[in-house]
Amino acid sequence: MSNPEETKKKAEPRKKSIDPAALEVIAKAEAEGISTVFSRVDEMKACPIGAAGSCCQLCAMGPCRLVGKGAEEKTGICGATHGTIGARLMVRAIAGGVAAHSDHGRDIARTLLAVAKGHAQSYGIKDPDKLYRVAEMMDIATEGRELNDVAAEVAQKALDNFNGTAGDELTYVSRAPARRQEIWRKYGLVPRGVDREVVESMHRTHVGVDQDAEHLLDQGMRTSLADGWGGAMLATDLSDVLFGTPKPLVSQANLGVLSKDEVNIIVHGHEPTLSEMIVAASQDPELIEYARSKGAAGINLAGICCTANEVLMRHGIPPAGNFLHQELAIITGAVEGMVVDVQCVLQALQPLSEKFHTKLITTSPKAKIPGATHVEFDETRALDTAKDIVRMCIDNFENRGDIAIPQYTGDLVAGFSHEYINYMLGGRYRASFRPLNDNIINGKIQGAVAIVGCNNPRVTQDEGIVYLVHELIKRDVLVVQTGCAAHASGKHGLMTPETMQIAGDGLREVCEAVGMPPVLHLGSCVDNSRIMTILSQVVEEGGLGDDISDLPVAAICPEYYCEKALAIGTYAAASGAYVVFGVRNPVGDCDEVVDIMSNGWEAKVGGQLVFEPDYDKILEMVMNRIQEKRQALGIHEEKERVLFDMAARREL
């Protein structure tokens, strides 16, 4: 039974975080007997049977646990094999993740439709050029038409993609390289509708339906592609249309961005619709004056999780931290209001907020937390609702007690949309990925790796992310980031142009010439779709093969914790990328499933999804993959296969 975390914990007490701000607040919590995710994870051992995919709870004949001697040969009461059980668990997790991202995308599409029809208060179309480009990709005519007309048709087409009424294939499948589309069609992996794939996954994993692990996992890939080339890609595009396409800007990250004398409001969750309006409300002169009348110096807005990324990318609002910082922010005593919508919001925030003066405000019609204040958000009075919420937080300022804000921040540059990267590389008159391709071909850049995903309290916060970013740029690998992994690098100062100094000579030379950091912040987790777009454009640019699977690239999710991460990892693999997750394999006991997702998918789609808790091994696996791909492309210089030891890791 594999549970690396448990074994490691016995050998050496695990450090909870490498972030000094986090450590300071965790120490305060421990001293005051306040429960946090960091203390609860020690009190609750992971169930080793469930942790490795050996427990099936899908019907009332069970739960069936396939453990003990000869576990691999055992079956559930219905006869389901270990492989079938593992595949069903994996496919259900993927479907859960896809549903979350895509429902977010659907809400953005609905907002765009409401804007086009004049029903949404205070929203507009901030990037009409992007709207026209999206319309073109959707084969929607733009010539001589009113902006709102085009917007309505684009929004409707997006909604049709969710409903499955846009045609036999999702519209954006056509954005993938031609060879990739052929592979998907050959194996029946082209998604037909976002909702349809999620529903079919739930159906096929119901007891007594699909019982072939490989066939089930094909549906897992198809469902995930409905996210990466459907729901999430639409969420990114339509958010850019509504709220603006990001351009580089400077900001700071970590708990030190909280203000000691202003009203601190934290936006936490995922959907930019609400947070955009909170940004506007927090800058409203009347409300700032109101805050002053209550004794505060002003209003200070900060973010947590992917909402933080949305408002960072477009407004430079500083992130107070990543997933594991949500409780810590409240424990500083300096947060008047934490405004949440959907996903990654810990229920523990509510009892915690009662120990302090923080008002926890839920806003989504989809997500309530008992005990929290619910102010339901709807787009017809978006700005008014946001103002009500900000006023509520200002009124709470007078209840503030002692505060302890850890004085740590990292400077960072964020805001790299795929459009901006294209422009940055080529310049205004010749925007192109050519310089990137050329520098990969000449070896100054060895390859590119996406380091993405969450924090997980079962592993030291930020350790894997920061270590891998550091080691990869040293080896001339360009790093792109999203999600909470991007916050980690931001907090630790790895997203500034100065980071070039620790990059390898080749990568540094390119970064200096282009004027970019070697670690690029591409946004929230739905913005992993930007990475798919970049990879497709790099293939299209030429010289590096004819498919994503030919490129010297990989993706790493070192500290994942949730189903959304598994959905993203699966669509990246199904798109031809080599994907490595840390922490543990959720189906690690199911040999057949492990083999299908690695060797099987490699043979079928040229990508794989593998799990490896050891960061040095991940580094070695990824570097070797990059070298193998360079060799296959004939751009490889003879180098030893890379093997790293523990010493290199501790150098950091």
**Cβ nearer to ligand NFS, comparing 53 with 569:** 569
Cross-strand partners of 300: 264
Write down the H helix ranges in 117-212.
Answer: 128-137, 147-163, 178-186, 194-204
Token output for 490: 């931001």
| Cα–Cα distance, 353 to 36 (Å, whole number) | 12
Query: In the complex with ligand NFS, which residue's Cβ is closer, 500 or 562?
Result: 562
Token pair 């996954």 in the structure block, residue:
201
E strands within 52-95?
A: 55-56, 64-65
Cα-flanking dihedrals φ and ψ of residue 603, to 5°? -70, -35
**Residues in contact with 115: Cβ distance below 8 Å, sequence separation at least 6, in sequence order:** 123, 124, 125, 148, 151, 242
Is the Cβ of residue 418 or residue 487 nearer to ligand NFS in the bound state? 487
Binder to ligand NFS among 92, 180, 508, 564 (CB under 6 A)? Answer: 564
Could you give the C-alpha distances from 451 to 249, 466, 481, 491, 552, in angstroms and in order? 20, 9, 5, 15, 15
Closest listed residue to residue 328, CA positions, set 9, 5, 17, 557: 17
Among 191, 230, 447, 483, which residue sits at the site for ligand NFS (rule: CB under 6 A)? 483
d(CA 567, CA 224): 5
Per-residue DSSP letter, 585: -
**C-beta of 127: minimal distance to ligand NFS in Å?**
22
Using the structure block, give the residue that is written with the tokens 């150098």.
Answer: 651
Whole-number CA gyration radius for the chain: 24
Question: With respect to ligand NFS, which residue has the nearer C-beta, 164 or 269?
Answer: 269
Contacting range for ligand NFS; rule: CB under 6 A; set: 228-236, 331-339, 457-465, 557-565: 557-565
Tokens representing residue 64 in the block: 């069936």
Nearer to ligand NFS, 484 or 587 (CB): 484
**Shortest reach from residue 19's CB to ligand NFS, in Å:** 15
Taking CB under 6 A as the rule, does residue 453 contact ligand NFS? Answer: yes
* Nearest distance in Å: CB 455, ligand NFS: 6
Q: Give which of 606, 550, 559 is closest to 580, Cα–Cα.
A: 559
What's the min distance (Å) between Cβ of 482 and ligand NFS? 8
> 3-state SS string over 619-636?
HHHHHHHHHHHHHHHCCC
Contact between 490 and ligand NFS per CB under 6 A: no
Q: State the nearest-atom distance from the C-beta of 453 to ligand NFS, in Å.
A: 5
Give the tokens for residue 294. 């209550």
Judged by CB under 6 A, how many residues of this single chain contact ligand NFS?
13
What the block records as the tokens of 87 is 């595949």
Asked if residue 461 lies in contact with residue 17, where contact means CB atoms within 8 angstroms, the answer is yes
Contact between 345 and ligand NFS per CB under 6 A: no
Which of 64, 234, 522, 562 is close enough to bind ligand NFS by CB under 6 A? 562
Nearer to ligand NFS among residue 270 and residue 359 (C-beta): 270
Looking at the Cβ atoms of 510 and 580, the one nearer to ligand NFS is 580
Residues 282-311 that bind ligand NFS (CB under 6 A): 305-306
Smaller CB separation from ligand NFS, 78 or 348: 348
- Measure the CA–CA gap between 151 and 140, rounded to whole angstroms: 10
How far is CA 569 from its chain centroid?
A: 10
Nearer to ligand NFS by Cβ, of 507 and 577: the residue is 577
Distance CA 241, CA 140 (A): 15
Q: Which is nearer to ligand NFS, 327 or 592 (CB)?
A: 327
Residues 256-285 that bind ligand NFS (CB under 6 A): 270
Q: How far apart are CA 556 and CA 15, in angstroms?
A: 22
Bridge partner residues of 479 (DSSP) = 449, 519
Q: Which amino acid is at 447?
A: G
- Choose the stretch contacting ligand NFS; rule: CB under 6 A; options: 18-26, 43-51, 561-569, 607-615: 561-569
- Closest distance between ligand NFS and the C-beta of residue 99, in Å? 13
Query: Minimum CB separation from ligand NFS for residue 93, in Å?
Result: 13
Q: How far is the CB of 306 from ligand NFS (least distance, A)?
A: 3
- Nearest distance, CB of residue 485 and ligand NFS, angstroms: 7
- Residue closer to ligand NFS by CB (options 385, 482) is 482
235 with 585: CB under 8 angstroms? no
Least distance (Å) between residue 274 CB and ligand NFS: 15
Using CB under 6 A as the binding rule, whether residue 41 contacts ligand NFS is answered as: no
Considering only 484, 538, 544, 618, the residue that binds ligand NFS (CB under 6 A) is: 484
Piece of 175-183, 287-295, 331-339, 558-566 that binds ligand NFS (CB under 6 A): 558-566
Among 169-177, 240-248, 422-430, 559-567, the segment contacting ligand NFS (CB under 6 A): 559-567
Give me the torsion for CA of 125, 127, 131, 137, rounded to 10°.
Answer: -160
Closest to ligand NFS by CB, 5 or 262: 5
CB–CB of 541/551 below 8 Å?
A: no
Q: Which residue from 232, 454, 459, 507 is in contact with ligand NFS, where contact means CB under 6 A? A: 454
525 near ligand NFS (CB under 6 A): yes
Among 38, 184, 323, 601, binds ligand NFS (CB under 6 A): 323
Nearest alpha carbon to residue 268 among 230, 312, 299, 228: 312
Number of C-alpha atoms within 13 angstroms, CB side, residue 450?
Answer: 31
- Other C-beta atoms closer than 10 Å to the C-beta of 611 total 23
Residues that bind ligand NFS (CB under 6 A): 270, 305-306, 323, 344, 453-454, 483-484, 525, 562, 564-565
